[in-house]
Amino acid sequence: MSLLKINNLKANINGTEILHGINLEVNKGEIHAIMGPNGSGKSTLASVLAGKKEFEVTEGSVLFRNQNVLELEPDERSKMGIFLAFQYPVEIPGVSNMNFLRTALNEHKKYRGEEIIEPGTFLKLVREKANLVKMDPKFLSRAVNEGFSGGEKKRNEILQMAVLEPTLAILDETDSGLDIDALRIVAEGVNTLRNSENAFIVITHYQRLLNYIVPDFVHVLHNGKIIKSGTKDLALELEEKGYDWIIN
Amino acid sequence: MSNELIEQITKSDYKYGFVTNIEQEYAPKGLNEDTVRFISEKKNEPAYMLEFRLKAFRFWQQMKHPEWQKVNFPEIDLQDIYYYAAPKIKSKPKSLEEIDPEIRDTYNKLGIPLEEQKLLAGIAVDAVMDSISVATTFKDKLAEVGIIFCSISEAIQEYPQLIKQYLGSVVPYTDNYYAALNSAVFSDGSFVYIPKGVGCPMELSTYFRINAAQTGQFERTLIIADEGSYVSYLEGCTAPMRDENQLHAAVVELYAHKNAEIKYSTVQNWYPGDKEGKGGIYNFVTKRGLCAGDNSKISWTQVETGSAITWKYPSCVLKGNNSIGEFYSVALTNNYQQADTGTKMIHLGENTRSRIVSKGISAGHSDNSYRGLVKVARKATGARNYTQCDSLLIGDTCGAHTFPYIEVENQTAVVEHEATTSKISDDAIFYLNQRGISTEDAVGMIVNGYAREVIMQLPMEFAVEAQKLLAISLEGSVG
Ligand SMILES: Nc1ncnc2c1ncn2[C@@H]1O[C@H](COP(=O)(O)OP(=O)(O)OP(=O)(O)O)[C@@H](O)[C@H]1O
Ligand SMILES: [Mg+2]
């Protein structure tokens, strides 16, 4: 069943076209990996899907759960189930991770017409989820990402994902900057959350992550276009040969 | 930040803007010696008070309006103001039940019920409407431990010794233009005396409300903490929405004896004027605390979101050795609001310490200045000051300025100053959006995070209120 359908998507920033017509379909239960050289447009694609205003969509469509999401505000897309684990998570001084997560979860619950979660119940839930990504609970009372190391920030993204349980999670280089243990923990987190109703788009430069999170499809993005798609073997091939053989 | 975003934050509504229909009694408009006499007479004051007022008035007449401030307003016609407006009360209510239902209703609407049993546990309230105090709660309970908490008018009658000794001892009428004016025409305010060794068992609070039109509110607050005592005092304020500007020129004096501590918190939400900058309160206030005794401590915390113009510098004079002064401030300006606020820390005694944390937030077309003086006198050996002064800008049509003045006459002094200016970034808003938090809530969250260090200084109930206020005051300024 189709969860996400991107059709001929073109997007500009400051008048420069970055995405030159992306086509991609993601079904429930699938994991897609997107690879590609620096500057090819991977993060741009992720931002456009999440609704970042700086990017202007000039052509094409994005259907998520059969709904055109290009018209929706970023927070609405989030509440519909799109989650983006940022390549560069932002620091929010003075706002505790806990308060932030609870506010976010409650917004999702309100959207779904569910009752908001009590602080006590939430505390239990978030501790459980922190344990899933082997995160020390002390990070919960610290300000969002403030002073977190690169790896801690990435882990915090996965914690947020675990709390919000999205239908479509886009992980933008979540593996970059993670040590080997952390990489495995993050991958385990993803595999635990994975089910037949949700899907993942994993943006990465390294085949290594894909040993842990095994993709159903691998796509190569170059110059704002998907120029090749294949199975997990494509990632192995890229690791060995680089991008030149596809680009030229 | 995108224009659309900024648009959204700068549009919000002031929810305290209603007017209460009660009969008011006025002094004739305008200001002259007769006005001063009228006020004093209305209040049935003893001769010493009239003398105090007249001296101040005559001094004020010689003064010129200051011009150094970084706020702009047309000259205020002081002859076009009522200096005395009081809700007409046939006889002063003897108990809280006798208060005019209209007045009671006003305070209920403001979330300040005057019935003691309904009040938040542990907070005693003095409610001041226009020129007079309309109710003081929990008086009897406080009296049991010897605490005096009443209107200043009552104190002038009942405790002349204390008034004579302390009124004007921290802020003399010669201090500045508006302090002189206040000393001449002040109408009412709160009086607190905490006896030796007593820790005040509840938060004391005054709620100021301007109701009458074309009226100035000149309240006067005096808090005395005797040796080894402690008190935490809260001040809140609102006013109806009116097209004209209204003057509020208060004087607050704090006096801390040896080993005493006074914590003074303000959540200021006077009507800020409309989106085009029409109307609103001119909040020109002199607040000063004197740490007279050794080891005393005075701490000012203020969250300022209201007023068309906020112009004040709650200050500490650190006279006692080892005394401590603190100033925690959040000043938020939006639309066409202006703020020129900060503090003065005057180190006179040895090993005196002061700490200043100022957080400015500007949005819309507003202008927000921090102005602070740290002065270390010749004899203040071992004095220390730490100042942190941050500005947060929302959009690019607002202004933020910092004017730190440092005067050090003792070489052992350590004075540190840190300053930052930042903007709410689109990336931060997008990050929160991406987790399902709307832009308006995201801005509220970011601003509250930024102001956290100050908010944390407030008593719990006020902290929650202040957080909401910060978020509401920015509603509509980011879209
Ligand atoms: N705000 C911007 N202004 C101008 N150009 C931009 C902007 N944001 C992105 N770009 C350009 O768009 C292109 C794609 O950037 P993007 O971040 O999507 O690449 P990426 O594939 O994620 O790269 P990496 O692997 O390094 O993360 C780059 O050439 C980048 O410089
Ligand atoms: Mg990228």
* pLDDT single digits (tens) B147-194: 998 889 889 999 999 999 999 999 999 999 999 999 999 988 889 999
**B304 φ, ψ to 5°?**
-110, 110
Residues in chain B with CB shorter than 8 Å from the CB of A93 are: 449-450, 452
**pTM for this predicted structure:** 0.84
DSSP sequence for B161-205:
HHHHHHTTTSS-TTS-HHHHHHHHH----EEEEE-TTPBPSSEEE
What single-letter amino acid sits at B389? C
Q: Give the Cα separation of B68 and A13 in Å (integer).
A: 46
- C-alpha distances (whole Å) from B125 to each of A7, A161, B119, B327 are 64, 47, 9, 23
Residue B116 confidence (pLDDT): 52
A39 lines ligand 1 (CB under 6 A): yes
- Measured over the CA atoms of residue A74, residue A77, residue A79 and residue A81, the dihedral's sign is negative
Q: What is the ipTM of this complex?
A: 0.96
Residue for token pair 């602070």:
B372
Cβ of B434 within 8 Å of Cβ of A78? The answer is yes
A114/B contact by beta carbon, under 8 A = no
- Mean pLDDT, chain A, integer: 93
3-state secondary structure of B218: coil
Burial label, B381 (beta-carbon count in 10 A; 0-12, 13-18, 19+)? middle
Per-residue pLDDT tens digits for B417-476: 999 998 888 899 999 999 999 998 999 899 999 999 898 888 877 787 788 878 777 776
Q: Give the Cα separation of B15 and B25 in Å (integer).
A: 26
Burial label, A232 (beta-carbon count in 10 A; 0-12, 13-18, 19+)? middle
Q: Give the Cα separation of B273 and B85 in Å (integer).
A: 22
Sequence-separated (6 or more) residues with CB below 8 Å from residue B395:
B1, B6, B9, B10, B363, B364, B477, B478
A190/B contact by beta carbon, under 8 A = no
**Letter string b/e over residues B450-476, b meaning 16 or more CB atoms within 10 A of that residue's CB:** bbbbbbebbbeebbebbbebbbbbbbb
A138/B contact by beta carbon, under 8 A = no
Q: Which helix (H) or strand (E) holds A190?
A: helix A180-193
Residue B363 confidence (pLDDT): 86
More confident residue, B58 or B21: B58
Sequence-separated (6 or more) residues with CB below 8 Å from residue B60:
B173, B177, B180, B181, B183, B184
Asked whether the beta carbons of A46 and A168 are under 8 A apart, the reply is no
Candidate from B428, B436, B452 with C-beta closest to A75: B436
Query: How many cross-chain Cβ pairs, A to B, lie less than 8 Å apart?
Result: 79
* pLDDT above 50 for B248: yes
Average pLDDT over residues A82-107: 94
Domain residue ranges of chain A, discontinuous segments joined by +: 2-96+166-247
3-state secondary structure of B444: helix
Probe residue for ligand 1, chosen from A13, A176, A221 as the CB with the greatest number of ligand atoms within 8 Å: A13
Minimal CA separation from A46 to chain B, in Å: 11
E-strand ranges in B334-366 read 338-347, 353-362
Ranges A223-227, B250-254, B272-276, B321-325: which has the least confidence: B272-276
Asked whether the beta carbons of B47 and B181 are under 8 A apart, the reply is no
Residue B211 confidence (pLDDT): 58
Half-sphere exposure of B139 toward its Cβ, with a 13 Å CA cutoff? 19
Cβ of A94 within 8 Å of Cβ of B453? The answer is yes
Average pLDDT over residues B75-97: 69
CA of A172 to the centre of ligand 2 (A): 7
Residues in chain B with CB shorter than 8 Å from the CB of A108 are: 436
What band does B117 get if pLDDT is binned at 50, 70 and 90? Answer: very low
A43 lines ligand 1 (CB under 6 A): yes
More confident residue, A246 or B351: B351
Q: In the structure encoding, which two tokens stand for residue A168, read together?
A: 């479509």
Residue for token pair 């978020």:
B471
Residue B201 confidence (pLDDT): 85
Q: Which of A53, A88, A157 to substitute to test the interface with B, most B CBs within 10 Å?
A: A53
Cβ of B448 within 8 Å of Cβ of A104? The answer is no
Candidate from B428, B436, B439 with C-beta closest to A92: B428
Residues in chain A with CB shorter than 8 Å from the CB of B450 are: 93-94
Ranges A96-105, B108-117, B123-132, B438-447: which has the least confidence: B108-117
Minimal CA separation from A238 to chain B, in Å: 32
Cβ of A86 within 8 Å of Cβ of B432? The answer is no
Helix A97-111 crosses helix B439-455 at what angle (to 10 degrees)? 150
Indicate which ligand has the atom closest to the C-alpha of A41. 1
CA of A73 to the centre of ligand 2 (A): 22
A38 lines ligand 1 (CB under 6 A): yes
A224 lines ligand 1 (CB under 6 A): no
* pLDDT above 60 for B131: no
A180/B contact by beta carbon, under 8 A = no
Cβ of B433 within 8 Å of Cβ of A78? The answer is yes
Q: Which of B432, B445, B456 to substitute to test the interface with A, most A CBs within 10 Å?
A: B432
Q: Give the Cα separation of A52 and A59 in Å (integer).
A: 16
Atom of ligand 1 nearest to the CA of A18: 12
Taking CB atoms within 8 Å and a gap of at least 24, the contacts of B94-97 are B96/B135, B96/B137
Written out in words, the top-level CATH class of the domain with range A2-96+166-247 is alpha beta
3-state secondary structure of B312: strand
Q: Give the Cα separation of B430 and A132 in Å (integer).
A: 26
Q: Which of B227, B248, B229 is nearest to B237 (CA)?
A: B248
Cβ of B445 within 8 Å of Cβ of A160? The answer is no
Asked whether the beta carbons of A97 and A142 are under 8 A apart, the reply is yes
Asked whether the beta carbons of B394 and B478 are under 8 A apart, the reply is yes
Candidate from B433, B446, B453 with C-beta closest to A75: B433
Q: Maximum distance among all alpha carbons in chain A?
A: 58
Question: For chain A, what's the residue count?
Answer: 248
A81 alpha carbon, distance to own chain's centre: 11
Q: Maximum distance among all alpha carbons in chain B?
A: 68
- Mean pLDDT, chain B, integer: 83
Cβ of B430 within 8 Å of Cβ of A78? The answer is no
Asked whether the beta carbons of B9 and B429 are under 8 A apart, the reply is no
Per-residue pLDDT tens digits for A39-77: 999 999 999 999 999 999 999 999 999 999 999 999 999
A170 lines ligand 1 (CB under 6 A): no
Residue B121 confidence (pLDDT): 46
- Helix ranges (H only) for B186-313 are none
Q: In the structure encoding, which two tokens stand for residue B422, read together?
A: 């930042």
A73/B contact by beta carbon, under 8 A = yes
